[in-house]
Amino acid sequence: MTGLRVAACQTPEILGDVDAALTCVEDFARRAGDADLLLFPECFLQGYLVEADHLTRYALDLRSAEFAAVCRRLAPIRPTVVLGVIERREDRLLNSAVVLDRGELSGCYRKTHLVPGEALFDPGDAYPVFDRNGVRFGINICYDAQFPAAAAAVAAQDADVLLLPTQNMMRRENAERWKPRHNEIRRQRVRETGMWLVSADVTGERGSERVGLGPTCAINPAGEVVAQVPPMTVGHIVVEISRRYQVPG
């Protein structure tokens, strides 16, 4: 039976240190053992900080020498890597998730629904899907999960699993308020589409005001949370997902 072993990584928040972020990716690749795919949080490569100075300094064109160097660094990693990046494309900034296979760029999803604080980003407009080990996956990013149409666009292409890079480093009062709501919303998307949903998030504290509680989790098509990394814990989960649909030959 075909199956895709997805490892979702709950990481520390790393801001403006690409080398440290890549070291973290390499570390999780070692920890995850025989996983087929590694999922990392939203904008993880450069750090999710939607400020003009940060975006201008760290955004990467996916056709640039700088991004090629990132790909070469990750080429020894066997699993597919789904990695959140701040992308520059011409004069646009995008909140993106790249799909890398042995350091080769297989594709990219660009966040389609932006919160008011993301006005410096432009929205994406497409929902690509990818096939690995006979299993099909698509991507939404964080706030996208609040919009049924974003998950439905992936499910309409016979996807088995929706990957959800997120970044919920919130003010403490908001983090507590949202703590039970994240998975409630994700269960709704699962029930509507019949797909698995696997999310990855950051954890820890940013100063005294912000905290990241996750959750990094996997929800099966019945709407059950089958694996979750505890809050304030750096770690990963691994779930195996089987193909529900027959891919045309």
User: Residue 162 pLDDT > 50, yes or no?
Assistant: yes
Please write the tens of the pLDDT for every residue from 197-249: 999 999 999 999 999 998 999 999 999 999 999 999 999 999 999 987 554 44
Q: Is 215 helix (H, G, I), strand (E, B) or coil?
A: coil
Closest CA to 169 of 13, 20, 53: 13
Please write the tens of the pLDDT for every residue from 30-78: 999 999 999 999 999 999 999 999 999 999 999 999 999 999 999 999 9
Average the pLDDT over 151-177 and give the result. 97
Q: Is the dihedral of CA 76, 17, 207, 179 positive or negative?
A: negative
Q: Is the peptide bond before 215 cis (omega within 30 degrees of 0)?
A: yes
Q: Is 150 helix (H, G, I), strand (E, B) or coil?
A: helix
pLDDT at 245: 57
Largest CA distance in the chain: 54
Q: What is the pTM of this model?
A: 0.96
pLDDT at 1: 46
The mean pLDDT value of the chain amounts to 96
pLDDT at 29: 98
Give catalytic residues, as residue numbers: 42, 111, 142
The token pair at 3 is: 């199956």
pLDDT at 249: 44
CA dist 221 → 43, 135, 182 (Å): 27, 15, 16
